[in-house]
């Protein structure tokens, strides 16, 4: 269930297939123009403008193109795509069909993470029903020459496969190792064909925008972060779960809504996001301030922030694809540093080196995993110095003598 | 492996390749299917899959070993995966972990001697608001307590309750 604080839940107010019908009634370019006008940005975390992405893919000349739905949802603390796929699968498939029409693709693929295998049967049933209703297949909704179908392919347990080029590698039957970009998937994607890779929620949003118009969508949110967003809230709060909030909501407002007032810190954006201390709870969750794919993890005053950092670093060491050195070696070094901090045996010189290493990882890693994996640890060091550095200061003295 | 078993596996893989298409994109779906029914992707399987797709067996190995839900080790009939990521960690996944280890008599990363259970850690499985979360094969269990662990494992052992279909599938194959 998704709890909405903006009135009735947006997704449940959309008339079924209204977006698809509207899209089929307009020229292809107008679909993208409407999306552009809405200024909707990708809901998967990176926040890339959807209209731009579709436009790039549409501009490519190719015999074949693909619409790919990223249902890999591996970011720690994120589970909203699971709920969207359970409660509004038609909206997601409708959004994919609209994308197919907009960019000129005949095939859609849902890349569903292995952990969500239990959702597959229900999704296949929904697809079958859509085929029966003429919403998929040849001449969608009787529209001559517009053929579109969707298949589901399962992931096999790798967080990095949520990265769009690793996802494509995985779809093609390879190890999930991210590619260099450029070329971007919109130019050279699945099987070398132009492909748009979009998050589950982004695709559902696209269907809503076509159904109700860009102006309606823009009436919520901020100027740079339009619309509402679905959040996954977990950790130390009274009412964890999936919520709809307008973008631009402050962390304090969000905490009040989920029963998390009094928290000591909030991790925004999952393990690859940043850790915001209580002093900064007036900051806004939006692409221009604290960006997020929707993961909110709340920490109560009693929590050991070093344990949090340690848990995240464990995760990254495990999930790094190992392709490039800054990430493969860097995350291991970070974890080692966190362990030493815990034991109180990290010297201040070593701490400085870790900070430099974090910078190197940010600059030199090939994909977003290595570029962001040190963020949480660094923001915990910065904001919870008293809690963490004290151990380093007092304990490291003997080692120096 | 007996020769007749090998022949059977070969023809199974051949049929799978025909159904999914003999292209590289079918590699992971093929391996998933073999893993699901046989609980292992061994070197013989890798060779046959490679032949079917006309690639080198090393390619198959490199893919199988990359993914946490594939791998090349023999696993139990029931793969039990406990989420260790932050929210489940905060919800005291450690108590569940201790109970699992005690009940099964094995550590994480191992398989019981009778080949029934494999115990593994998993990274975030998207049940963060209902932790600690546990996957047994494809089934998810939430708000797991040490007591519940006992029930879940007992149901697996007897192939009972929600696991009854699992048992049937095993014998149909
Ligand atoms: C390591 C890593 C993991 C990612 N995981 C996901 C994911 O699970 N789901 C997702 O939608 N995007 C994920 N992304 C972002 C994708 O690369 C891509 O930006 C996104 O699917 C684009 O869709 P959007 O524009 O609709 O957000 C991940 C990125 C990185 C670097
Ligand atoms: S940054 Fe990490 S995950 Fe990304 S390509 Fe490099 S090693 Fe792989």
Q: Which pLDDT value is given to residue A384?
A: 92
Count of other CB atoms within 10 angstroms of residue B58: 10
Contact list in A for residue B62 (CB cut-off 8 A) is 175
**Domain end position, chosen among B66, B94, B111:** B66
Ligand 2 atom with the smallest distance to the CA of A331 is: 2
Same domain, A341 and A320: yes
Instruction: Spell out, as residue ranges, where chain B has pLDDT lower than 70.
Output: 160-173
Give the range of the structural domain holding residue A375, as residue numbers without chain letter: 305-391
Residue nearest to atom 12 of ligand 1 (CA): A44
**Domain end position, chosen among A239, A265, A299:** A299
Q: Among partner residues B67, B124, B131, which is closest to A74 by beta-carbon distance?
A: B124
Q: Among partner residues B23, B27, B124, which is closest to A76 by beta-carbon distance?
A: B124
Distance from CA of A311 to the nearest CA of B (A): 6
Q: What is the CATH number of the domain that holds A344?
A: 1.20.1440.230
Residue nearest to atom 4 of ligand 2 (CA): A367
What is the rounded distance in angstroms from the CA atom of residue A198 to the CA atom of residue B89? 30
> What are A60's two structure tokens?
């490519």
Q: What is the CATH number of the domain that holds A129?
A: 3.40.50.11540
Task: Determine whether the interchain pair B128/A242 forms a contact, defined as Cβ–Cβ distance below 8 Å.
Answer: no
Q: What is the CATH number of the domain that holds B124?
A: 3.40.30.10
Q: B18-31 b/e with 16+ CB inside 10 Å = b? A: eebeeebbbbbbbb
Task: Determine whether the interchain pair B86/A235 forms a contact, defined as Cβ–Cβ distance below 8 Å.
Answer: yes
Chain B contact for A173, CB < 8 A?
Answer: yes
Count of other CB atoms within 10 angstroms of residue A97: 30
Same domain, A292 and A321: no
**Domain end position, chosen among A274, A299, A324:** A299
Q: Which pLDDT value is given to residue A385?
A: 86
Closest CA to A36 of A291, A185, A183, A210: A210
Q: Is residue B71 part of a domain?
A: no
**Domain end position, chosen among B66, B95, B119:** B66
Residue nearest to atom 1 of ligand 2 (CA): A370
Same domain, A186 and A63: yes
For residue A313, report the distance from its CA to the centre of ligand 2, in Å.
14
Peptide bond preceding A182 in cis form (omega within 30 of 0): yes
Same domain, B92 and B21: no
Distance from CA of A234 to the nearest CA of B (A): 5
**Is A57:A196 a contact under the CB 8 Å cutoff?**
yes
Q: Is residue A398 part of a domain?
A: no
Same domain, A196 and A128: yes
What is the rounded distance in angstroms from the CA atom of residue A201 to the CA atom of residue A208? 11
**Is B131:B124 a contact under the CB 8 Å cutoff?**
no
Instruction: Give the nearest chain A residue to B91 (CA atoms).
Output: A235
Q: Which pLDDT value is given to residue A391?
A: 73
Beta bridge partner(s), residue A298? A235, A266
Same domain, A365 and A350: yes
Task: Determine whether the interchain pair A311/B84 forms a contact, defined as Cβ–Cβ distance below 8 Å.
Answer: yes
H or E stretch covering A245: strand A241-246
- Dihedrals phi, psi of B12, to nearest 5 degrees: -60, -45
Same domain, B163 and B105: yes
The answer to ipTM > 0.95 is no
Give all strands (DSSP E) within A86-148, no chain letters: 107-112
Tell how many helices (H) and how many strands (E) occur in chain A: 16, 10
**Is B10:B48 a contact under the CB 8 Å cutoff?**
yes
Instruction: Spell out, as residue ranges, where chain A has pLDDT lower than 70.
Output: 392-401
Instruction: Give the nearest chain A residue to B68 (CA atoms).
Output: A157
User: Going by DSSP bridges, is the β-strand pair A149-154/A195-199 parallel, antiparallel, or unpaired?
Assistant: unpaired
User: Going by DSSP bridges, is the β-strand pair A265-268/A274-277 parallel, antiparallel, or unpaired?
Assistant: antiparallel
What is the rounded distance in angstroms from the CA atom of residue B116 to the CA atom of residue A358? 43
For a ligand 1 pocket test, name from A155, A199, A206 the mutation site with the most ligand atoms within 8 angstroms of its C-beta: A199
Q: Among partner residues B24, B123, B138, which is closest to A117 by beta-carbon distance?
A: B138
Contact list in A for residue B125 (CB cut-off 8 A) is 115
Same domain, B53 and B91: no
H or E stretch covering A66: strand A66-71
**Domain end position, chosen among B43, B66, B89:** B66
Same domain, B85 and B10: no
Give the range of the structural domain holding residue B133, as residue numbers without chain letter: 78-170
Q: Is residue A399 part of a domain?
A: no
Same domain, A99 and A207: yes
Task: Determine whether the interchain pair B128/A234 forms a contact, defined as Cβ–Cβ distance below 8 Å.
Answer: yes
Q: Among partner residues A79, A116, A156, which is closest to B70 by beta-carbon distance?
A: A156
C-alpha neighbours within 13 Å on the C-beta side of residue B169: 12
CA-to-CA dists, residue B137 to A156, B75, B117, B168, angstroms = 13, 11, 10, 15
What is the rounded distance in angstroms from the CA atom of residue A199 to the CA atom of residue A164? 10
**Is A97:A139 a contact under the CB 8 Å cutoff?**
no
Same domain, B82 and B57: no
Does residue A149 line the site of ligand 1, with CB under 6 A?
Answer: no
Instruction: Give the nearest chain A residue to B53 (CA atoms).
Output: A173
Q: Which pLDDT value is given to residue B168?
A: 45
Beta bridge partner(s), residue B82? B121, B134
For a ligand 1 pocket test, name from A38, A46, A232, A247 the mutation site with the most ligand atoms within 8 angstroms of its C-beta: A46
Same domain, B85 and B61: no
For residue A67, report the distance from its CA to the centre of ligand 1, in Å.
14
Handedness of CA A247, A251, A254, A258 (dihedral sign): positive
> What are A395's two structure tokens?
């304990």
Contact list in A for residue B83 (CB cut-off 8 A) is none
Same domain, B105 and B143: yes
DSSP A115: G
Same domain, B24 and B91: no
Same domain, A49 and A178: yes
Same domain, A115 and A246: no
Contact list in A for residue B90 (CB cut-off 8 A) is 235-236, 299, 303
Q: Which pLDDT value is given to residue B58?
A: 97
Largest CA distance in chain A: 81
Q: Which pLDDT value is given to residue B77?
A: 95
Q: Is residue B25 part of a domain?
A: yes
Same domain, B12 and B57: yes
Residue-wise pLDDT for A119-159, tens only, equals: 999 999 999 999 999 999 999 999 999 999 999 999 999 99
Same domain, B57 and B111: no
Q: Which pLDDT value is given to residue B169?
A: 43
Same domain, B62 and B89: no
Ligand 1 atom with the smallest distance to the CA of A73 is: 8
Task: Give the residue from A109, A153, A156, A312 with the most B CB atoms within 10 Å of its CB, the best one to mutate.
Answer: A156
> What are A347's two structure tokens?
């010297």
Chain B contact for A88, CB < 8 A?
Answer: no
Same domain, B56 and B83: no
Task: List the strands of the sheet with A274-277, edge to edge.
Answer: A2-4, A241-246, A228-235, A295-299, A265-268, A274-277
User: Going by DSSP bridges, is the β-strand pair B134-136/B78-83 parallel, antiparallel, or unpaired?
Assistant: antiparallel
Q: Helix, strand, coil proportions of chain B in percent (round to 5)?
A: 55, 10, 30
Q: Is residue A288 part of a domain?
A: yes
Q: Which pLDDT value is given to residue A393?
A: 56
Q: How many domains, in total, are found in chain A?
A: 3
Distance from CA of A73 to the nearest CA of B (A): 7
> What are B52's two structure tokens?
């079917």
Task: Determine whether the interchain pair A77/B135 forms a contact, defined as Cβ–Cβ distance below 8 Å.
Answer: no
What is the rounded distance in angstroms from the CA atom of residue A97 to the CA atom of residue A387? 51
CA-to-CA dists, residue A209 to A59, A258, B91, angstroms = 21, 27, 38
Question: How far is CA A273 from its chain centroid?
Answer: 11
What is the rounded distance in angstroms from the CA atom of residue A252 to the CA atom of residue A230? 17
What is the rounded distance in angstroms from the CA atom of residue A85 to the CA atom of residue B88? 22
Q: Is residue A116 part of a domain?
A: yes
**Is A100:A64 a contact under the CB 8 Å cutoff?**
no
Does residue A73 line the site of ligand 1, with CB under 6 A?
Answer: yes
Ligand nearest to the CA of A291: 1
Q: Is residue A313 part of a domain?
A: yes
> What is the separation, in whole angstroms, between the first and last Cα of chain A?
59
Q: Which pLDDT value is given to residue A121?
A: 97
Residue nearest to atom 13 of ligand 1 (CA): A162
**Domain end position, chosen among A218, A244, A267:** A218
Query: Residue A224: CB partners within 8 Å, gap ≥ 6?
Result: A39, A286, A287, A288
What is the rounded distance in angstroms from the CA atom of residue A13 to the CA atom of residue A26? 22
What is the rounded distance in angstroms from the CA atom of residue A78 to the CA atom of residue B124? 8
Q: How many domains, in total, are found in chain B?
A: 2
Taking one residue from A and the other from B, the number of pairs with CB-CB distance under 8 angstroms is 120
Task: Determine whether the interchain pair A191/B138 forms a contact, defined as Cβ–Cβ distance below 8 Å.
Answer: no
Closest CA to B28 of A334, A175, A232, A38: A175
What is the rounded distance in angstroms from the CA atom of residue A207 to the CA atom of residue A38? 12
Q: Is residue B72 part of a domain?
A: no
> What are A399's two structure tokens?
């080692």
| Alpha-carbon torsion, ordered A356, A358, A364, A368, to 10 deg | -170
**Is B94:B82 a contact under the CB 8 Å cutoff?**
no
């Amino acid at each position: 269930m998704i709890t909405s604080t903006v009135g009735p839940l947006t997704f449940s107010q959309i008339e079924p297939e209204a977006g698809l019908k509207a899209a089929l009634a307009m020229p292809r370019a107008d679909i993208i123009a409407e999306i552009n006008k809405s200024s909707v940005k990708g809901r998967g975390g990176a926040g890339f403008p959807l209209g731009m992405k579709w436009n790039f893919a549409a501009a490519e000349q190719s015999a074949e193109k693909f619409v790919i739905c990223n249902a890999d949802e591996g970011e720690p603390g994120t589970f909203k795509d699971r709920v969207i796929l359970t409660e509004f699968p038609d909206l997601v498939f409708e959004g994919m069909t609209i994308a197919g029409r907009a960019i000129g693709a005949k095939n859609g693929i849902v890349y569903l993470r292995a952990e969500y295998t239990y959702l597959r049967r229900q999704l296949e049933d929904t697809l079958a029903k859509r085929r029966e209703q003429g919403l998929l297949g040849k001449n969608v909704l009787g529209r001559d020459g517009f053929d579109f179908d969707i298949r589901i392919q399962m992931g096999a347990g790798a967080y990095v496969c949520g990265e769009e080029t690793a996802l494509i590698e995985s779809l093609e039957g390879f190890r999930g190792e991210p590619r260099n970009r450029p070329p971007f998937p919109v130019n050279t994607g699945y099987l070398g064909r132009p492909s748009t890779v979009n998050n589950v929620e982004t695709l559902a949003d696209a269907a809503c925008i076509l159904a109700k118009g860009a102006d309606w969508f823009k009436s919520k949110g901020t100027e740079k972060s339009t619309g509402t967003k679905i959040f996954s809230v977990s950790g130390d709060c009274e009412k964890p779960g999936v919520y709809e909030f307008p973008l631009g909501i402050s962390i304090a407002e969000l905490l009040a809504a989920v029963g998390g007032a009094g928290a000591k810190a909030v991790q925004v954006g999952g393990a690859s996001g940043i850790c915001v201390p209580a002093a900064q709870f007036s900051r806004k969750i939006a692409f221009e301030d604290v960006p997020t794919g929707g993961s909110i993890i709340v920490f109560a005053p009693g929590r050991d922030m070093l344990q949090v950092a340690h848990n995240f670093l464990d995760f990254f060491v495990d999930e790094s694809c190992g392709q490039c050195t800054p990430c493969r070696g860097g995350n291991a070094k970070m974890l080692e540093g966190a362990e030493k901090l815990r034991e109180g045996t990290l010297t201040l010189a070593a701490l400085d080196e870790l900070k430099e290493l974090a910078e190197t990882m940010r600059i030199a890693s090939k994909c977003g995993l290595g570029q962001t994996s040190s963020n949480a640890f660094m923001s915990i060091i910065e904001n919870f110095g008293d809690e963490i550095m004290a151990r380093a200061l007092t304990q490291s003295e003997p080692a120096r003598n | 492996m007996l020769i007749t078993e090998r022949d059977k596996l070969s023809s199974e893989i051949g049929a799978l390749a025909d159904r999914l298409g003999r292209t590289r994109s079918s590699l992971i779906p093929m391996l998933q299917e073999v893993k699901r029914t046989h609980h292992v992707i061994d070197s013989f399987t890798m060779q046959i899959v490679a032949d079917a797709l006309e690639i080198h067996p090393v390619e198959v190995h490199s893919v199988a070993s990359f993914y946490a839900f594939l791998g090349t080790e023999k696993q139990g009939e029931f793969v039990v995966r406990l989420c260790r990521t932050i929210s489940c960690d905060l919800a005291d996944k450690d108590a569940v972990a201790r109970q699992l280890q005690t009940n099964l008599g094995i550590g994480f990363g191992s398989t019981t001697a009778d080949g029934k259970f494999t115990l593994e850690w998993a990274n975030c499985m998207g049940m963060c608001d209902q932790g600690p979360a546990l996957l047994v094969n494809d089934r998810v269990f939430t708000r797991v307590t040490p007591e519940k662990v006992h029930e879940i494992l007992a149901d697996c052992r007897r192939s009972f309750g929600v696991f009854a279909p699992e048992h049937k599938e095993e014998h149909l194959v």
